[in-house]
Amino acid sequence: MRWLVVCLYWLCACATATPVTVDPSHETLLLGDQIEVLVDRDGDFKLEDVLAGRHDSARVTNKRSPPNLGYPKHPYWAVLELRNESAASMDRLLVLWRGSTHRQQALIVSTADSEPPASPRFSDAQDVLARHSIIRLNLPAHSTTRIVVRLETYTALSLDYRLLTDSQLASIDRIDYWFFGLLVGIVIAIGIYVLALFFALRERLYLLFGIFAVGNVIYQVHTEGYAYLLWPEAMRPWGNALGTFGGTIFSLMIVQFIREYMDLPSLVPRLDRWLVRPVLWMLVSVFFLFPVLPWLGNTVAALGVISGTVVSSIAALRGSMLVRPVWSFLGATLGFFALGIVHLLKRLGILADLQSLSLVLQIGSAGTTMAFAIAVMVRVRRMVEAQRAAQIDYADKLERKVSERTSQLLESKESAEHALAQLKSTQRQLLEADKMASLGQLVAGVSHEVNTPLGVAVTASSHLTERSRILQNQLANDSLSRSDLEAYIAETRDAGAMIERNLERAAHLIRSFKQVSVDRTSDGRRRFELATQISELIDSLRVSWKRRPVTLSVDCPSGIELDSFPGALGQVLTNLIQNALLHGFDPEEAGQMRIGVKQLDPSTVQIIFEDNGKGMTQATLARIFDPFFTTKRNQGGTGLGLNIVYNLVVQKLGGEIEASSKPGQGLRLTIRLPTHAPTGAVDIVDG
């Protein structure tokens, strides 16, 4: 049947067709004017019918060369005849420029002059995966070759067919690759620069511009066909979708970038509300339209691009009348506007899709991107200048405040030092009078407790004065950076809070004439044997209950070694023993204390301290680790003993402590410590 149809075709159509003569001396032949285009509105044309000329009534009249069909809603057929009048066969490439975005099905019918029309030769088209859609042809000597191609696409269709040799195509593509790679490199470099600004400044404006640059590259790579050097043929529709979405994204980003750069919602709120925002929503609709109707999605995308260029340019020009413009920004906006119009006319089929026009659009796209980047740099420079002026002004104000605050702190320090001198004088008088031992111990504790916050306050004040001098020198030498100023502010705030807190604490202790004496051992870390350490500690403390009917037993197996702080551990056990002697037993009451040690695992040791004294209620038990909580405040209790124990165990020794007790059943404290204390342990500040 196929042979019969072809015979009918040669009888009916060859008499009227005008084949294109292929000259072997010319490597390049543009075929735009010689292509017959048939529109297949219902998508039901058959190859045999097209060959037989039954659909000539569906021929499209297109005066542009090459034919530009815009965004197709249906398939098209391209029919072309080539004539080889030379005595030798010729190998040529029928190239559809940037045709890799389309789906192409072809059939080649060749008939030599010496053969009868009823004996044509068929050969299937070979569609080579490349940037362009390529059909390899062999044109026999003295023959006419008819090529019928069915085209179906989701993007703009321009029938820019060319007849080339392999070497000629490679030469043209080599130049295009180099030139396009240069432009893409420029855009990518600008995008990286602006994204770096975003990560440094955390301002969304630069992120929008960076996404615009990336989206522009994605769009250009797909519309120019470069991406299809890697895309498999079956994935080409996805590539078309990615190109459309990339173009939509970069259009969205550049319109939003212009909107935020010029602050259009504040400068021209009506234009922004009634023009710019609708365009943004039009572009967003592409993501929903393209999957359903690709030709409609592409058309809306093109309209969104041109609308975005028009309204953003109008709004930017109007805004430039209200604020000082950045001329590179306005130039880039107008250039973007012009490129959008040309691009829309080309994609809709009004302008011919020429290679030179594509180069102009690529160069213009890179140029506008560079102009926008220059505008971004100008904006950053202005921001730096404004911040520098603000820093200088803030530094002046801060220096005045620091001077005033320093004067106040010095007065407070002098007052506290005078009070401390009076307190020490009172202490000496009490000791010389040899009054109650507890009163002398209390005065000593007062001296110790007051001296600590005052020393901290003096140190912080001196540090604050020195930092103010350094800041003043940096400001005078114009070497003050933002990080220096921020560090100074943080140190001033912390030092002021520290001075105020310690002076208030000293004043409170002086007024109430109450003091505690707590061992502030700040020993070094070393490896020690636990049983030996406890034994030595008990020997030094045994005098505390020597004259009382109280006993202390220790159950600690030998061989347990700790890499920890022996001084802190000794202070913990000392405080536990003194707490039991003070609170657990009356002065003449018999009692027992016990220290039990057990190694739970290679990394954990458990120490249990318990007594059979008075015990305590659950309400008291819940507060025993609170600072300044004591049940014998009138008998010398400071309320800090177990609080210090808790802090040393948890913060310095890296362990945990639990307490259990009932009235009349004594107190049990369970301590679990790591055999290797954590690094970076802090010293405990009492109270």
Q: How many residues does the chain have?
A: 687
Question: Does an H or E element contain 161, and which?
Answer: strand 161-164
Q: Quote the pLDDT of residue 376.
A: 82
Measured CA to CA, the distance from residue 656 to residue 638 in angstroms comes to 23
What is the rounded average pLDDT for all residues in the chain? 76
DSSP secondary structure of 489-534: HHHHHHHHHHHHHHHHHHHHHHHHT---------PPPEEEEHHHHH
Question: Does an H or E element contain 607, and which?
Answer: strand 604-611
CA-to-CA separations, 458 to 241, 409, 487, 500, 562, in angstroms, rounded: 71, 9, 21, 11, 38
Angle at 426 between CA 421 and CA 430, to 5 degrees: 150
Question: Does an H or E element contain 641, and which?
Answer: helix 641-647
Encode pLDDT of 369-380 as tens digits: 888 888 888 877
* pLDDT reading at 569 higher than 90: no
Residues 177-195 have a mean pLDDT of 84
Q: Quote the pLDDT of residue 437.
A: 40
* 257 close to 373: Cβ distance less than 8 angstroms: no
* 557 close to 597: Cβ distance less than 8 angstroms: yes
* pLDDT reading at 602 higher than 90: no
Residues 415-433 have a mean pLDDT of 63
* 111 close to 64: Cβ distance less than 8 angstroms: no
pTM above 0.75, yes or no: no
Find the distance separating the first CA and the last CA of the chain, reported in whole Å.
106
Residues 182-195 have a mean pLDDT of 85
**Beta-sheet strands, E only, within 60-157:** 76-84, 90-96, 102-112, 121-124, 127-128, 133-139, 143-153
pLDDT grade for 426, boundaries at 50, 70 and 90: low
* pLDDT reading at 15 higher than 50: no
Considering only residues 347 and 102, tell me which one the structure prediction assigns the higher pLDDT: 102
Nearest Cα neighbor of 261 from 196, 188, 315 is: 315
Q: What is the dihedral of CA 178, 182, 185, 191, to 10 degrees?
A: -140
Measured CA to CA, the distance from residue 227 to residue 130 in angstroms comes to 9
Q: Quote the pLDDT of residue 225.
A: 77
* 575 close to 642: Cβ distance less than 8 angstroms: yes
Measured CA to CA, the distance from residue 171 to residue 203 in angstroms comes to 45
* pLDDT reading at 656 higher than 70: yes
Measured CA to CA, the distance from residue 76 to residue 45 in angstroms comes to 10
Measured CA to CA, the distance from residue 377 to residue 364 in angstroms comes to 20
* 37 close to 77: Cβ distance less than 8 angstroms: yes
Measured CA to CA, the distance from residue 678 to residue 670 in angstroms comes to 20
